[in-house]
Structure 1
Amino acid sequence: MRRALFVALALCFGMTAPSRAEEGPLRPDAARFETAFVPGATATVEGTSVPLDSRVLGEVTVSSGQIVACDPFVFIEAKPFTRAVPNGQFPVRVAVMRSKRFGDRVAFARVEFSQAPVVSWERALVPGQDPAKLGKHEYYGFPVDAGTGAFLDPAVGKDIAVLSTDQVQAVYDDWIRQGESYGKAHGLPYALPVNRGAHALVLFSSGWGDGAYPSWFGLGADGSVAMLLTDLRVADDGPARRE
């Protein structure tokens, strides 16, 4: 487990791990990506069936034709994905595992760029990542070191990057306070829809906490981006993902 996590984190930063050509990396789970958000959905976690609760958490504003998935408290200046996305304001929906045994945890989060049916999925990559270097079961994922993920336009990171250390800390303290309050009020783990200048962004608790989490673009029949989905690695992988 520790080595698997190290490999995933290493891949996030552009380093590579040994791989064999005949062994495939983690694949998208198209069926689960769709069913996780329908009413009455369930997931299997450590062999136990648990319910999933889906809801729109907030919206993300895209003004640059680019989008970032990152830990906003540690990697706010993370690189955007290489695939261009539409500009506009788009809903962010989460699927939350409800379990007395495991706790309430965000299992999946997605940005809905359109209502077009997704007909195919592709890895969401940042510059320098090469899928050909992925070994068996490996993936690229954004690193998390503060138990939080977020979707945002890269302009938000640039805006915060020019602040003083004290100003940045004040922003983060405010987000922590608001997110804990919002989550409690809405029956969620840490969650926060918030605005930063002209941009809306959404923060959410990241699955089991720190780690590395893969994202996938869902494409419509015409090849346009319909969705960006992050798998917070809560649900057990089905056999099809590892073959």
Structure 2
Amino acid sequence: MTQTRRGFLAAAGATALTACAPRPDPVQTPPEPPPAPAWPPLPARYGAITDEPYPVPAVPEGVVPPRLWRQEVANPFPDAEPGTLVVDPDAGYLHLALRDGRALRYGAGTGSAAHAWHGEARLQFRREWPRWKAPDSMVARRPELEPYSVANGGMDPGPGNPLGARALYLFQNGEDTLYRIHGACEPEYLGRAVSSGCIRLLDQDAIDLHDRVLHGATVRVLKSIRPTGLREVF
């Protein structure tokens, strides 16, 4: 082997070793934020509400997917009489059955795996800007909520109240189930199973539903076949 060839092979070997060696880290730059969903603007009905006793802020753009916006659809539960509420926790929907095979569909947050509830109940009564009273079972898990217990009279209505602008109270066989359909759903959790069992709507939708539904209405909550849970909210 000639001296030139030996030098070429040595140089080639050195180049190969250099290629396999760890390279110095490049200057780190912050990753680009993911592109915002290409959704149309929210309908005006999700704007701020200023004629209530307490302000209801506008739903922020780009957080709630269009499928969870309030809309009229073909009723997927044709056996439900007009006025019946049907909650599908896996889909994240609440349907209000209308006439002529139609329904109003609302996006809904539902109960987490640890607190899921299903069955048939009666809408016993409705409240505007209700007080929230932490059930004893919740206070046992979270002692910091004791000031808002039933014994202490609960939390005043208004901003920060977990029930939001409206609440519908569900009873079974004349007894309070302690489950509610209510407002104050954080937009990022709409359509997801993360609550303590209650059915949570955007305040704009809770107000709309409250004005449409009647006392004594039947409420059906379907059994979840794929419960999930992220964290406990009210």
Same fold (TM over 0.5): no
Q: Which has the higher contact order (CA 8 A, sep 6+)?
A: 1
State TM-score, norm by structure 1: 0.23
- Asked which structure has the greater CA Rg, the reply is 2
